[in-house]
């Protein structure tokens, strides 16, 4: 066995506890560690005197600890406080949510601290700076220090140490780039690139190493896209009818973006061959449902049935009510199919589908049951498409009694930058709803300091007195040991703070019927405040909800925060989103302030992609993007063009990659793992 496949537990200094923490990051082998790339670097090549620190400056200082660290039990939360100094001045150090900081600091020792400075008069302070003891053999003064994605309990210091040990085996790393391509572009070897990207001697070599690794990732991505075959299945030609009755039945005019998307979809359906396979993505409130309704209307007029699959019963019921009100006056029979239907009602729906009486059925996974049979299924729609695997969608798409494939429309309220969309959905055409209907009131978003928590609660009470409702979102379900708020414990606190109102909680471990019961009570207004995990991210439409509070907001990506914020502002009332975060990290603050600055989901998605990279962007790591850890699809598109050309030339000369067995095995493994549209 190659040392690259060696379990991380065999590395010196990796015990059971560290091994378990590394497994949380999917770091199981030495090779995994080598390719766990930094998310950024701290420039410690320049040291700043304490006297030269300015308010808000991010800097690196070398100081001696002049007092032993002391645990201060303040009014709000405890923190560790220590004093340090250099020849020019005194520095106050404060560590919140870091009870072990005191164990790492000793009076009289010299340390390097890296962090954001604040000034109170002439006194300089740093809150939660990164700590390095001078003489440390892993990270020392005057370096570009890598900062890695990590998990609670695994420090940057420990992670750097373990990755450094893995690099002893860098010469055994598999070289996936053919030598002819490395020579053409002047790329360094994979072993050199790995060593440099983790321990850059200077920025020039770092950029060369990053470019080489990014090219490899994009080259492999291009090979995956080249070898993935687009479905050319024939679909039934559905001529576009006179849409005037449909448009006249609407209580509003469609936006320009909605009209454009309707035309794109109807043109696909009219062409017939190949069957439509299109992604409709739009921001919260952009009007995807009415675009889908237009397609259903056209399909019904052409004599075929349509089906819409939603991830939850509640969302399916909401779609059923709105679609029924719109389409049944136009002579289109709409039915609902969910798991909670009684046997008599279910049998009637099944008979209607089989006989062709039902033109349009809306349901959940219940539509995938063996006894569901259609007369002529011509259009399949899935809402919040990332909630369904390809097998589920394919099963529904083949439920009709015809040789012609149904047209497929997948909808998502999660805006994805177009460059990433082309990668994630290479086998789907893309329609974007990038315009909101007029009259929507933007949600006011505020990053709230902890000291203003009670003021926020007072504001929430004022909204509740007006009859409004609200949400509080927490990252965890149960209590944790890392000061992250959890749904169950925070519900107890909030029940006391809002004792005059009904407070309930919701999370994914609850039984489905129990979740549905709580959610329906909230929809009916019987629950004033709903404390939840991100289970309410999609599929909840409560126009009366006017405030969203997100705890530990640093734990969520921008796109996910935007989705959560989208649960309010859906009615006529002014709505608000309050973000709480104890994290003082500059990058975290930048991300959260970006959310406060705009309600444009596409702009936020692009920023999220820039800050976090495609591997972490809304969980797309599970959507088949092969190893995009160093490549940035925003800034590296020209590199992607070169990589695509190189992949095309290689496959033209060697279609099956027979001369490159390691590369072929790697590419085929990615294709086999890809769960989405194929």
The residues, ordered by sequence, that sit 6+ positions from 490 with a Cβ below 8 Å of its Cβ are: 472, 474, 531, 551
What is the CA angle 12-13-16, rounded to 5? 110
| Helix and strand counts by DSSP (H, E) for the chain | 22, 22
**Coil, strand or helix: which one is 300?**
helix
Q: Name the CATH topology of 444-614.
A: Rossmann fold (3.40.50)
Burial (0-12, 13-18, 19+ Cβ within 10 Å), 499:
exposed
Helices (H), 134-283: 156-166, 179-185, 190-198, 203-227, 244-249, 256-271
pLDDT at 42: 79
Model-level pTM greater than 0.75?
no
DSSP 8-state assignment for residue 260: H
The DSSP H or E segment spanning 639 is: helix 637-653
**Are both 46-142 and 444-614 of the same fold?**
no
- What's the start-to-end Cα distance of the chain, in Å? 33
Half-sphere exposure of 476 toward its Cβ, with a 13 Å CA cutoff? 14
- The pLDDT value recorded for residue 622 is 40
Question: What is the Cα Rg of the chain in Å?
Answer: 28
User: 21: Cβ–Cβ under 8 A, 6 or more apart, which residues?
Assistant: 151, 153, 154
| Helix axis angle, 288-301 to 313-327, nearest 10° | 60
Q: What is the pLDDT of residue 20?
A: 94
CATH number of 244-433: 3.40.50.300
Identify the pLDDT of residue 213.
93
Q: What is the pLDDT of residue 370?
A: 85
Contact 488, 503 (CB under 8 A): no
CA distances (Å), 567 to each of 445, 523, 575, in order?
13, 12, 10
Say if residues 275 and 286 touch (Cβ distance below 8 Å). no
Burial class (CB in 10 A: 0-12, 13-18, 19+), 356: middle
Q: How far is CA 131 from the centre of its chain?
A: 30
pLDDT of residue 183: 95
Rounded CA-CA distance 613/607 in Å is 10
With contact defined as beta carbons under 8 Å apart, do 53 and 61 qualify?
Answer: yes
Q: What is the pLDDT of residue 630?
A: 67
Measured between alpha carbons, how far is 200 from 42 in angstroms, rounded to an integer? 11
User: Who's near 267: CB < 8 A, 6+ residues apart?
Assistant: 240
Task: Answer whether 62's CB lies under 8 Å from 46's CB.
Answer: no
User: DSSP assignment, residue 367?
Assistant: G
Nearest to residue 147, comparing CAs of 36, 57, 29? 36
Rounded CA gap, 358 and 353, in Å?
A: 5
Which pLDDT belongs to residue 386?
45
Give the residue extent of every domain in the chain: 46-142, 244-433, 444-614
**What's the CATH code, domain 46-142?**
2.40.50.140
Q: What is the pLDDT of residue 178?
A: 95
Report the chain (678 residues): mean pLDDT per 10 consecutive residues.
Answer: 88 93 93 91 85 92 93 79 95 85 87 90 90 55 79 88 95 94 95 96 92 90 67 79 96 93 96 85 85 97 94 86 94 94 94 96 90 92 60 55 78 69 62 78 92 96 97 84 79 95 91 86 95 78 93 87 88 92 80 90 75 51 52 60 85 90 88 50
């Amino acid at each position: 066995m190659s040392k690259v496949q060696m379990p991380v537990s065999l590395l010196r200094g990796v015990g059971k506890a560290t091994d378990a923490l590394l497994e949380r990051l999917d770091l199981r082998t030495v090779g995994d560690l080598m390719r766990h790339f930094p998310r950024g670097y701290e420039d410690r090549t320049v040291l700043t005197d304490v006297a030269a620190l300015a308010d808000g400056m991010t800097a690196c200082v070398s100081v001696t600890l002049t007092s032993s660290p002391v645990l201060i039990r303040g009014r709000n939360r405890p923190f560790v406080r220590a004093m340090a100094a250099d020849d020019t001045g005194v520095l106050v150090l404060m560590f919140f949510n870091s009870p072990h900081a005191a164990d790492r600091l000793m009076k009289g020792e010299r340390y390097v601290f890296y962090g954001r400075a604040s000034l109170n008069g002439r006194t300089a302070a740093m809150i939660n700076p990164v700590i390095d003891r001078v003489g440390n053999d892993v990270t020392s003064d005057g370096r570009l220090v890598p900062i890695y994605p990590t998990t609670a309990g695994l420090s940057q210091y420990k992670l750097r140490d373990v990755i450094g040990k893995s690099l002893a085996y860098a010469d055994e790393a598999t070289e996936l780039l053919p030598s002819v391509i490395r020579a053409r572009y002047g790329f360094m070897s994979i072993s050199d690139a790995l060593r440099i990207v983790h321990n850059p001697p200077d920025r020039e070599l770092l950029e060369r190493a990053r470019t080489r690794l990014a090219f490899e990732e994009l080259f492999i991505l291009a090979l995956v896209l080249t070898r993935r075959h687009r479905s050319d299945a024939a679909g039934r030609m559905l001529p576009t009818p006179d849409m005037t009755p449909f448009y006249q039945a609407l209580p509003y005019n469609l936006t320009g973006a909605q009209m454009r998307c309707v035309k794109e979809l109807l043109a696909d359906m009219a062409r017939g061959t190949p069957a439509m396979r299109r992604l409709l993505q739009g921001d919260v409130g952009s009007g995807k449902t009415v675009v889908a309704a237009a397609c259903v209307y056209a399909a019904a007029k052409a004599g075929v049935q349509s089906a819409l699959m939603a991830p939850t019963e509640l969302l399916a019921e909401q779609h059923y009510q709105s679609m029924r009100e719109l389409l049944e006056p136009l002579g289109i029979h709409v039915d609902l199919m969910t798991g909670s239907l009684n046997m008599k009602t279910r049998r009637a729906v099944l008979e209607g589908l089989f006989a062709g009486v039902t033109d349009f059925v809306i349901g959940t996974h219940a539509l995938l049951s063996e006894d569901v049979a259609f007369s002529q299924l011509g259009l399949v729609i899935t809402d919040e498409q990332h909630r369904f695997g390809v097998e589920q969608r394919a099963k529904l798409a083949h439920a009709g009694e015809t040789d012609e494939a149904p047209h497929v429309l997948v909808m998502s309220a999660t805006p994805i930058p177009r460059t990433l969309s082309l990668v994630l959905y290479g086998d789907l055409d893309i329609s974007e709803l990038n315009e909101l209907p007029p009259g929507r009131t933007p949600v006011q978003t505020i990053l709230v300091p902890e000291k203003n928590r009670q003021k926020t609660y007072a504001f929430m009470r004022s909204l509740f007195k007006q009859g409004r409702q609200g949400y509080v979102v927490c990252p965890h379900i149960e209590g944790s040991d890392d000061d992250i708020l959890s749904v169950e414990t925070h519900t107890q606190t909030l029940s006391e703070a809002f004792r005059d109102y009904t407070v309930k909680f919701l999370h994914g471990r609850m039984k489905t019927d129990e979740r549905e019961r709580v959610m329906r009570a909230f929809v009916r207004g019987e629950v004033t405040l709903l404390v939840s995990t991100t289970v309410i991210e999609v599929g909840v439409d409560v126009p009366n909800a006017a405030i969203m509070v997100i705890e530990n907001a640093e734990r969520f990506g921008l796109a996910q925060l935007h989705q959560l914020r989208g649960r309010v502002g859906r009615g006529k009332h002014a709505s608000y989103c309050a973000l709480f975060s104890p994290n003082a990290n500059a990058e975290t603050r930048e991300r959260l302030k970006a959310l406060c600055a705009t309600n444009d989901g596409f702009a936020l998605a692009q920023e999220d992609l820039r800050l976090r990279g495609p591997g972490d962007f809304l969980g797309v790591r599970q959507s088949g993007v092969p190893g995009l850890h160093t490549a940035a699809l925003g800034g590296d598109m020209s590199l992607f063009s070169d990589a695509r050309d190189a992949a095309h030339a290689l496959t033209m000369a060697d279609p099956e990659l027979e001369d490159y067995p390691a590369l072929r095995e790697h590419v085929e493994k990615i294709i086999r793992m890809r769960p989405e549209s194929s």
